[in-house]
Amino acid sequence: MVLLLPFIVPMLIGRTLDVRKFQIGPNIYNEDDYKDIQDEDTTSTYHIIESPNELYNLLEIPLDVALYVKAGLIQTEVVSLGLDLLLKDIQQRKNTIYLCIIVKTRTVKRGLLSGASLLERWKELDPRVLGTHYCSSLEFGGRLLVLAQIQTNHPADFIQVKKMLTDNIGESGPFSDSIAENWLHLEESLKKQDLRGEVKLSMNSYSTSDTQSNIELPGDLLRLVKDFPSKVRENGIGDPMIMTLEPLTSIDSSFPDVRQEMKTEDLKLIISMFDDLRYTKSNLNNWIVKIDEPISENEEYAIAALLDQLNNLLDDFYQLISETTLYNVPDRKFLENTIYSYNIGLPFPNATYQLAYLRLKEHINVKCEAAFRAPIKTHLMADVFETVEHGTVTGGLEGCKDLCFDDVKCRSIGYGENLQKFDEQIGNWVEVKNLCWVYFRSTVTTSLKDNSELIFGDLFVYDRICYS
């Protein structure tokens, strides 16, 4: 099976690779027996996507390569671009939309000469060292990625923001002046939307060439895209981007004929879990060094327990990843046990360790103001022991806020001025006013829901402004 993979250091023309574990072997052809063919082309496209897995595909990065780079087990050539940095930076985020502009420039295709001869005595080498494939050609050029991430904190906002984007520019297509105009007015467009909660916008660029990264006006973005091919050629033919791998079976049928064995969905799951663990550990460590006041023994224990849990899980995941590619399935029992160990330690099903960290951080070394963030029209799905239902309060919204200020554990309130509540005793709906709930969780650390089976009407949640 012929494969196209991102260039991996230090692959060369004629060098071998075992794609079952990304182990680089010796050369079987002379690395100087090649010919360069001019093959110039540039494409510039934009895409609106919901998952980093879609971005890997757009950048021609197989899932197992992405996983190995994230784990630091292989290095791609385009470190200056930040392909490695991008893969280590990006992770699946809840209710997040990714907008990307991708520029691919191709300059030269370097391939083995048609009359290239195999090196003498190559077959005397251990087949386990030679692996499964050899590099028959390299594609040179460059890559540019401009990536914007729009993170919402309410599922309904996610749907609304995506619809706004796709209505304005469509889900994908060629990059153009109008796309640049819309792109640079994203923040302004988001402010005009009637959203339930907060929206965070971040933008980064990654490039194989030394390009301008300060993008403030549509013209900046247009120039960045337009000038990129010439920037690539300032370095001659650019960098090796894609390698073509021919199976060793095409030379000698005694070599293993590999086929995809690992399920794509399993790889996506491993990437998602591994990203969660390593990001959480990084954030936890950064937070620990910033704690500036004494904390209790129980709080110290809780922090240490989470850190130990992350370290133990990461040890298992690094071992699992080193045995996993599209063409090699790890021990099935070890895979199942590793995934089970990850799931069993979560605060609740379908949560993340990032959420476990945020829930821990929400009540340790916290300073809260006598103020609230803008309201979100939603229902907070906090546990019973994290909720105090005050019923109808005097003083309306301000009275509800005062109840929060009086409770050191309060992190948000729920308030509805005119609601209908189902009275289970009479089996009917009744009108209620000025209902107030005090929550020990915020909208960041628990689930949100559009409606409730027992409450009807406009209920708003106000997060208290707290810092840790």
Q: What is the pLDDT of residues 216-248, one digit of tens each?
A: 777 788 888 999 999 999 879 998 999 999 999
Is residue 256 in a domain? no
Average pLDDT for 153-174? 89
Q: Which residues contact 380 (CB under 8 A, 6 or more apart)?
A: 412, 414, 437, 439, 441, 443, 446, 447, 448, 449, 461
State residue 97 phi and psi, 5-degree precision: -110, 135
Bridge partners of 118, per DSSP, are 29
Is residue 203 in a domain? yes
Shared domain check, 334 and 288: yes
Q: Is residue 404 a contact partner of residue 464, using CB atoms and an 8 Å limit?
A: yes
Shared domain check, 409 and 304: no
Residue 412 confidence (pLDDT) above 90: yes
pLDDT value, residue 82: 56
Residue 448 confidence (pLDDT) above 90: no
CATH of the domain at 454: 3.50.4
CA 240 to chain centre: 25
Number of domains comprising the chain: 3
Shared domain check, 217 and 132: yes
Q: Which residues contact 91 (CB under 8 A, 6 or more apart)?
A: 52, 272, 275, 276, 279
342, 361, 380 - which closes a domain: 361
| In the chain, % of residues over pLDDT 90 | 59
pLDDT value, residue 298: 95
Bridge partners of 133, per DSSP, are 17, 247
Q: CA of 224: how far to CAs of 25, 134, 239, 290, 456, in Å?
A: 39, 36, 18, 38, 51
Q: Is residue 133 a contact partner of residue 243, using CB atoms and an 8 Å limit?
A: no
| pLDDT band with cut points at 50, 70 and 90 for residue 451 | low
320, 340, 361 - which closes a domain: 361
Residue 214 confidence (pLDDT) above 80: no
Is residue 286 in a domain? yes
Q: CA of 92: how far to CAs of 20, 67, 87, 98, 193, in Å?
A: 26, 13, 11, 10, 24
Residue 467 confidence (pLDDT) above 70: yes
State residue 53 phi and psi, 5-degree precision: -60, -35
Residue 272 confidence (pLDDT) above 80: yes
Q: Is 372 helix (H, G, I), strand (E, B) or coil?
A: strand
State residue 61 phi and psi, 5-degree precision: -115, 110
Is residue 150 in a domain? yes
For residue 95 the two structure tokens come to 């209710």
Average pLDDT for 133-158? 90
Q: Which residues contact 451 (CB under 8 A, 6 or more apart)?
A: 379
Shared domain check, 219 and 106: yes
User: Which tens digits make up the pLDDT trace of 335-370?
Assistant: 999 999 999 999 888 899 999 999 999 999 899 999
Shared domain check, 216 and 92: yes
pLDDT value, residue 46: 95
Long-range own/partner contacts, residues 400-403 (CB < 8 A, 24 or more apart): 400/434, 400/436, 400/438, 401/372, 401/462, 403/436, 403/438
Residue 106 confidence (pLDDT) above 70: yes
Burial 342-376 (b: 16+ CB within 10 A, else e): beebeeeeebbbbbbbbbbbbbbbeeeeeebbebb
Shared domain check, 346 and 443: no
**pTM over cut 0.85:** yes
Is residue 255 in a domain? no
| pLDDT band with cut points at 50, 70 and 90 for residue 393 | very high
Based on DSSP, count helices (H) and strands (E) in the chain, helices before strands.
Answer: 13, 18
Q: Is 92 helix (H, G, I), strand (E, B) or coil?
A: coil
Q: What is the CA radius of gyration of the chain?
A: 27
pLDDT value, residue 80: 44
Is residue 122 in a domain? yes
User: Which tens digits make up the pLDDT trace of 45-92?
Assistant: 999 999 888 998 998 889 999 999 899 888 765 444 456 677 777 887
Q: CA of 260: how far to CAs of 19, 67, 169, in Å?
A: 10, 16, 37
For residue 54 the two structure tokens come to 């879609």
Q: Is residue 455 a contact partner of residue 421, using CB atoms and an 8 Å limit?
A: yes
Identify each DSSP E strand in 305-378 by its residue range. Answer: 367-372, 376-377
Shared domain check, 287 and 169: no
Is residue 259 in a domain? no
Shared domain check, 285 and 239: no
Shared domain check, 324 and 433: no
Q: Is 455 helix (H, G, I), strand (E, B) or coil?
A: strand
pLDDT value, residue 79: 43
User: Which tens digits make up the pLDDT trace of 177-200?
Assistant: 888 888 878 888 888 888 877 888
329 vs 324: CA distance, rounded Å: 6
pLDDT value, residue 206: 85
Shared domain check, 169 and 224: yes
Q: Peptide bond before 10: cis, by omega within 30 degrees of 0? A: yes
328 vs 169: CA distance, rounded Å: 41
Q: Is 47 helix (H, G, I), strand (E, B) or coil?
A: strand
Average pLDDT for 418-424? 83
Is residue 124 in a domain? yes
Average pLDDT for 439-444? 94
pLDDT value, residue 429: 84
Average pLDDT for 36-44? 95
Q: CA of 42: how far to CAs of 7, 131, 138, 180, 230, in Å?
A: 19, 34, 17, 18, 11
| pLDDT band with cut points at 50, 70 and 90 for residue 425 | confident
Shared domain check, 454 and 389: yes
Q: Which residues span the domain enclosing 336?
A: 264-361
250, 278, 305 - which closes a domain: 250
For residue 129 the two structure tokens come to 């060292």
Residue 308 confidence (pLDDT) above 90: yes
| Cα-based angle 34, 40, 43 (whole degrees, multiple of 5) | 130
Q: Which DSSP symbol is given to 328?
A: B
76 vs 129: CA distance, rounded Å: 21
Shared domain check, 312 and 192: no
399 vs 391: CA distance, rounded Å: 12
403 vs 413: CA distance, rounded Å: 9
